[in-house]
Amino acid sequence: MMDDAALIENIIRYCDKIKDAADRFGNDEEDFLADPQFHDVCSFYITQIGESAGDISAEIIEKHPDIHWKGLIGMRNVIAHGYHGIDLARIWLTISEEIPVLKETW
């Protein structure tokens, strides 16, 4: 298992990759909703963030109560398992609002 520093590095790297994807594919919801490749790329990156978040130690979680850890892990599960379909509007909200805040935390 990776240590917290490596897990946090992964989270940061995938936050950056999501920003890069938005810069490449488009920075608004209409662009996102219209492009299946944009969905797939960002969904994969969000899944990777959730994977790393699921392995973060209780100590780091306690130090950063402002991060919605359960939400990160939950979003990973929804994307990975496709529970009742994937809500693209919710993924866009994650990309546009939650990922930048997560990135700023570190």
Q: Which of 39, 64, 68, 81 is catalytic?
A: 81
Question: d(Cα 7, Cα 9) in Å, to the nearest integer?
Answer: 5
Whether the CB-CB separation of 87 and 3 falls below 8 Å is answered with: no
User: What's the full length of the chain, in residues?
Assistant: 106
90 catalytic per annotation: no
The verdict on whether 76 is a catalytic residue reads yes
Q: Say which of 13, 24, 64, 76 is annotated catalytic.
A: 76
Categorise residue 57: left if φ over 0, alpha if ψ from -120 to 50, beta otherwise: beta
- Enzyme catalytic residues: 76, 81
